A and B are shown apart, each in its own frame.
Chain A
Amino acid sequence: MSATMTARAPARRPMLDRRTLKRWMAGYLFLLPAMICLAVVSFVPMFQGIVTSFENFSLFRPGQRGFVGLDQYRYLAEDPLLARTFWQSWYFALGSVALQAILGMASALLLNQNIWFRGFFRGLVLIPWVVPGALAAMMFGLLFTSTGLVNTLLADLGLVDLGLINAAHPWLSDPRTSMPTIIMANTWKGFPFFTVMFLAALQSIPKDYYEAAMIDGASNWQSFRHITLPSMAPTILITTLLGTIWTFNSIDLIYILTSGGPYYSTMTLAMFSYNQGFGRGNIGYASAIGVVILALMAIITIVYLAAYRRVER
């Protein structure tokens, strides 16, 4: 027997009645394919990684792997590099994502216009994203050497004469400018992701909203602030969150350009973890650092989503 809509008693708490269960089932079933896919290839290795953080697994002593409790975490707490690496990780991730999001939004708005050869320009904007990370890194490495194209251009623009920049400045080899340079390279590499996502999100805003606003006499900036941004809020939130998680864990650029140097100035937690794991062979330690990253990302995700839910209301 199926309850029809009209026959429902409205005052009943919709806990485990048939229709709610059916609704729940739909939710679970839609989610099922993804969960199956992720079960073996994502959940299990992640779990294994977490377990390894409590072991003293070294690649150079494979026979002596064993449980050591919180030893790896103790080593981490005592590591003199921890504090600096921690702050630099945030600097790198948040700096990159902020610039990427801004550039992505600007380019999405631009590419949404009715311009000639729009397809060509949209194709063009994809290029930085598609270039394989290692090659983009090599390319930036060459551009930013002391005699590289960037310095030549800056000299031509007269910035050297103005005393703003040293001539032949080795951007990546100077600890003061190494991280900003990497952030720039990362911005170039990653902003098309935001462009594409924002472009897609811009499409779902009903144009009658804008028409109504124009009739009311709103300026373009006000339309942007009160229509565009709020309508795109879910996408903006998700892309910046995902971008942060992704960037925090990315090592491609850093590995090729500076490997965390010079003198630790571009060391991030993810790079640190990689060096400990594959460089020193200390997988247990690398896993412990990995779990710390996991915890940090989990915390900001929760904070982000809680803030969003409040904003939604």
Chain B
Amino acid sequence: MTGFSRREVVKGLGLATGAALLPGLGSLSARAAETVKLVNVEHDTRPLDNAAYKAVYDAFRTKHPGIEIEFQLIPWEQARPKLLTMAQGDGLPDMGRVAWVADLAAANAIVPLDGKIEPSLLDTVDPLLVQQAYGVGNDGARHLYALPWFVGTQSILVNKTLLDKAGITLKDSWTTDEFAAAAKALTVPGKQWGVTLDGAGIGDPVQIFLSAIYGYGGKWVAGDPQSVTPEPIVFDSPETAAGIEWYTNLYLDGSAVPSAPTDTYKERDANFQSGKAAMAWQGPWSLLETRENFKQGGWELASMPLPTGPGGSVPPSLGGGMAGLFRGVLKDGHEAEALEWIKFLSSEEGQRLYCKTNGMIPASRTLQADPFWADDPLYKGYIGTMKNMRQMLPIWATGLEGLLDDVVPPLMQGVFLRQLTPADAAKEIQAQVIRGLQQNGVRVPS
């Protein structure tokens, strides 16, 4: 068969033309809506957190319609292992929550921001918090890695109704001894305990433990923790032992819920929510929900600042939310867009949208003066505590955060169980930390 009918020729030409134009049409539509797709990682996964992100994202979209963000949630317990695993390959997201600046910087998972953002962006944030956003990279130098957008300091949440029943009044400041006395007064054996402590898990147990120690004058290094050069570790000291003793006595006196040695933040929260414990030492993650639940149960929620010890105010941990760029963003070349997002999230507008939705505390001090936080007695304890923030961990100790999560809880549990004295615990923690750092290739001077 050779010849084609005229109809067939026309059909063929039509198809050929269409086929030739199709890619052109495709690129035309692509040029019209050049959407950049980014992936943002996060670990706080409560419904309120998701709503908070949505509020910020909606506002962001009106400003940047060409940027689409997919929010990937990695549950808190799996977050660090998974991010570190992803860092071995190429699977890191573009940007998102940098919950462990020091560890992630050492693992080469995040991208330095120096030179990419205007320093004035960080003017309204407490300098100490800004220092937390710095880490030591693989080149051994300090870099800025993240932009703070909410603060996660701790305070003492109290069930005011139970406190009133026990005749304890709220104060603007109190000492560690007064705190211990209050915990004891609030304990009804078998039914109610003064305080709930978490002796297990990652993050909180260690941070709170260290806060107590610093309140008694103990510390990791004698010099500046922000220095990049290794210094001798001086953790093992009488002050440290005293701090450990005060903290563990809360349990040994019977004022803390008996399951403290194996309680994680989940159990701590459950203990407080159910009224099993009258006080809880924790961050502001569930303030709004707790207040709602308490209202339903006829209780009143209040907060007290962290107590003051012989060594000064017990410092809150410098936790919170910081947004940074992960190495994944270098792969597809959308660094500029990713920067736009994290800058927006950590801007005043972004902070306001986020924190007003889920009840967290904004990093900007000007915003903290907003009546939403300044006039709410619940936030007084948290914001008041912020002035006592201190840098505790030396930044030259690579992998120290993860190491402490592994070393400290078992030894703290040992003291809870009377199998270790506070002095021995201090000594053992120091020994294991030094050993662990050395195993990780960090030279620790003696």
A264: interface (CB < 8 Å):
yes
B15: interface (CB < 8 Å):
no
Contact A261 B107 (CB under 8 A): no
* Complex Cα–Cα for A61 and B396 (A): 13
Within 8 A of A (CB), among B392-413: 398-399, 402-403, 405-406, 409-411, 413
Q: A residues within 8 A CB of B417?
A: 174-175, 262-263
Given A168-B190, A264-B410, A61:B261 Cβ within 8 A: no
B81: interface (CB < 8 Å):
yes
B51: interface (CB < 8 Å):
no
- In the assembled complex, the CB of B192 is this many whole angstroms from the nearest CB of chain A, namely 10
* Complex Cα–Cα for A146 and B430 (A): 32
* Complex Cα–Cα for A263 and B412 (A): 8
Q: B residues within 8 A CB of A174?
A: 417
- In the assembled complex, the CB of B84 is this many whole angstroms from the nearest CB of chain A, namely 5
Given A58-B399, A282-B439, A258:B406 Cβ within 8 A: no
User: Contact size class for A?
Assistant: 35 or more
B440: interface (CB < 8 Å):
yes
Contact A146 B88 (CB under 8 A): no
Q: Which of A58, A170, A260 contacts B259 (CB 8 A)?
A: A170
- In the assembled complex, the CB of B104 is this many whole angstroms from the nearest CB of chain A, namely 9
- In the assembled complex, the CB of A270 is this many whole angstroms from the nearest CB of chain B, namely 15
Contact B409 A259 (CB under 8 A): yes
Contact B406 A275 (CB under 8 A): yes
* Complex Cα–Cα for A282 and B420 (A): 27
- In the assembled complex, the CB of B106 is this many whole angstroms from the nearest CB of chain A, namely 4
- In the assembled complex, the CB of A83 is this many whole angstroms from the nearest CB of chain B, namely 16
Q: Is the interface of A mostly helix, strand, loop or mixed?
A: loop
- In the assembled complex, the CB of A192 is this many whole angstroms from the nearest CB of chain B, namely 26
- In the assembled complex, the CB of A2 is this many whole angstroms from the nearest CB of chain B, namely 53
Question: Total number of A-B contacts with CB less than 8 angstroms?
Answer: 119
Contact A261 B441 (CB under 8 A): no
Proximity bits, A153-188, B CB within 8 Å = 1, else 0: 000000000000001101011110010000000000
B229: interface (CB < 8 Å):
no
Q: Which of B88, B199, B258 contacts A62 (CB 8 A)?
A: B88
Contact B410 A173 (CB under 8 A): no
B436: interface (CB < 8 Å):
yes
- In the assembled complex, the CB of B233 is this many whole angstroms from the nearest CB of chain A, namely 17
* Complex Cα–Cα for A282 and B107 (A): 12
Q: B residues within 8 A CB of A259?
A: 200-201, 409
Contact B410 A58 (CB under 8 A): no
Q: A residues within 8 A CB of B419?
A: 175, 263
Contact A59 B414 (CB under 8 A): no
* Complex Cα–Cα for A146 and B267 (A): 12
Q: B residues within 8 A CB of A138?
A: 266
- In the assembled complex, the CB of B189 is this many whole angstroms from the nearest CB of chain A, namely 9
Within 8 A of A (CB), among B198-226: 199-202
12 cross-chain CB contacts under 8 A = A58-B440, A59-B107, A138-B266, A172-B262, A173-B261, A173-B262, A262-B262, A262-B417, A263-B411, A278-B81, A281-B107, A281-B399
Instruction: Give me the 4 closest cross-chain CB pairs, A-B, nearest first.
Output: A262-B261, A278-B81, A60-B399, A262-B413
Residues of A within 8 A of B (CB): 56, 58-64, 75, 138, 141, 145-147, 167-168, 170, 172-175, 178, 257-264, 275-276, 278-282, 285
